[in-house]
Amino acid sequence: MNITLLKFDSLTSTNTEAIEQAKRGADEGVCIVARQQTAGRGRHGRNWVSSKDSGLYFSIILRPKIETRFLPLITLAASIAVFDLLEFQYQLKPDIKWSNDVLVNERKMSGILAETTETKKGLAVIVGIGLNLNSSNLSGDLARTATSIYEEAGIKPDVDELLSSLTRFLKSVYEILQRPNGAEEIRDHWKIRSSYFEGKNVRVTQQGKGFDGITRGLEENGALRIETDSGKIQIIQTGDVDSIRNNNLRT
């Protein structure tokens, strides 16, 4: 995959721009990056705060040659790339919260929004990554729950260097995913990086309803297995999974 960077000063959303470009036939590896987003999007229709130069706002077009059932593993693969970037480049100790959040010191530093779109060249997957560079501008709940590279590592990253490292890590996990045993390899890489893989007490929230349980590994497609109080395994394909502390001390 060859990386082609397209830089913008301001966009509504780099994912929206990447979807439009993919529909017009853009090649795999085209990356859209913006200094700010006026309508940055998160999962489940949420907003992604995207003030100018406070974060990396980036989307890459992929045209994966993998079985459709493994498409959800692309989000997991992207989170592995962000994890490795933060560990190797900034000596941080990240964690991956299923399915798409990269945390440092239990606060969110990065979120990933993967979206699929039909194009004349076949299905494209747009992987959008938001990575907080500076969190001093965040207010309210976000000030408590989010963090940034500057806050954790005391470094103001050079965005061009950051992008070239991130795209290198992304290329590498994407190559792994497309190997004959790639799905299994990606699950194994995720397993050693995420405290959410096994034995974590969590609350699952789906469409406003919640239940508690303990994580019990991943399904083949990256869905999370949760053991409930009654001992049944629930398979979580989508939704929010949050660590619960203090109460529920079973392991």
Indicate the residue among 81 and 113 with the shorter CB distance to ligand BTN: 113
* Stretch touching ligand BTN by CB under 6 A, among 23-31, 43-51, 67-75, 232-240: 43-51
Considering only residues 86 through 115, tell me which ones interact with ligand BTN, judged by CB under 6 A.
100-101, 111-113
Q: In whole angstroms, how close is the CB of 10 to ligand BTN at the nearest point?
A: 13
CA contacts within 13 A on the Cβ side of 114: 19
Indicate the residue among 51 and 89 with the shorter CB distance to ligand BTN: 51
Query: CA torsion sign, 24 to 4 to 121 to 182?
Result: negative
- Cβ pair 149, 109 in contact under 8 A: yes
42 lines the binding site for ligand BTN (CB under 6 A): yes
189 lines the binding site for ligand BTN (CB under 6 A): no
79 lines the binding site for ligand BTN (CB under 6 A): no
Which CB contacts under 8 angstroms, 24+ apart, belong to 192-198?
A: 193/80, 193/83, 193/94, 193/95, 193/96, 194/95, 194/96, 194/97, 194/98, 195/95, 196/95, 196/96, 196/97, 196/98, 196/224, 196/241, 196/243
Indicate the residue among 37 and 54 with the shorter CB distance to ligand BTN: 37
User: CA 164 to CA 25: how far, in whole Å?
Assistant: 24
* Stretch touching ligand BTN by CB under 6 A, among 12-20, 76-84, 187-195, 227-235: 12-20
Q: In whole angstroms, how close is the CB of 79 to ligand BTN at the nearest point?
A: 10
130 lines the binding site for ligand BTN (CB under 6 A): yes
Among 57, 83, 98, 190, binds ligand BTN (CB under 6 A): 57
The site that binds ligand BTN (CB under 6 A) totals a number of residues, namely 21
Distance of CA 95 to the CA centre of its chain: 12
Q: Which residues contact ligand BTN (rule: CB under 6 A)?
A: 13-15, 37, 40-43, 46, 48, 57-59, 100-101, 111-113, 128-130
